[in-house]
Homo-oligomer: A and B are copies of this chain.
Amino acid sequence: MLLEHDLTIVSLCRGGFFPGKELNKRKSAIDANRRAIDEASQLGTSMLVLVCGAESSQELEESRKQIRDGIAEIIPEASAAEIKLAIEPLHPMYADTRSAINTMTQANDMVEELNSAWVGVAVDVYHLWWDPFLEKEIKRCGQNGRLMAFHICDWKVPTRDMLLDRGLMGEGCIPIKKIRSWVEAAGFTGFNEVEIFSTTYWKENQFEYLQKIIKAYKENS
């Protein structure tokens, strides 16, 4: 279907969720990520985005080690399949269950520690816009040659749901154009991926919603 419509698959989203209290759970997460690498390969895309996971019954430091070890485990398969692994740092409000990697600083630290050309970072403005070190860390990521993806949407004021109330570009308070300029200054030339989780917009006519996205993209990003 995608090929028929001349659409490019930027990435498969998502792998990750490496942490777990039990070894079995961590092993099955690694297996699931290996399958995701296969799927990405079969889809003809070159990237797997990692929502790294967090286990709320253990400390974040432990989850972070398990994420690092989990990614290290799948680098050989990623390399063999030529699939990039993009760590997506998630907003700190998701540190309980979705990701223990919550800033660009942490993502860059982990990427440098893992030290593989197949492991980089996906920058999503929704998760990272508040961080005073964002410009500096985007630059660092670019200098490392590891800036792999760029996701955009907006932070609505007020935000009524922690997961499913994202806004169209221009509808909220994120300086999207500014962050895009940082990403481009850091050498990023890939797609600007619009990613708007929103029960409100999902209820609308989806053709009209797509027109709104295109307009917002052209005007406010």
Per the bound structure, the CA–CA distance linking A29 and B98 in Å amounts to 38
Closest CB of chain B to A177's CB: distance in Å? 11
B92 x A93 contact (CB < 8 A): yes
B96 x A173 contact (CB < 8 A): yes
Name the B residues within 8 Å of A172 (CB-CB).
56, 96
- How large, as a class, is the contact surface on chain A? 20 to 34
Per the bound structure, the CA–CA distance linking A162 and B161 in Å amounts to 8
Q: Which of A115-123, A152-160, A207-215 contacts B (4 or more CB under 8 A)?
A: A152-160
Per the bound structure, the CA–CA distance linking A57 and B155 in Å amounts to 12
Knowing A159-B162, A162-B159, A162-B162, the reply to whether A60 touches B130 (Cβ < 8 A) is: yes
Name the B residues within 8 Å of A57 (CB-CB).
173
Per the bound structure, the CA–CA distance linking A162 and B130 in Å amounts to 16
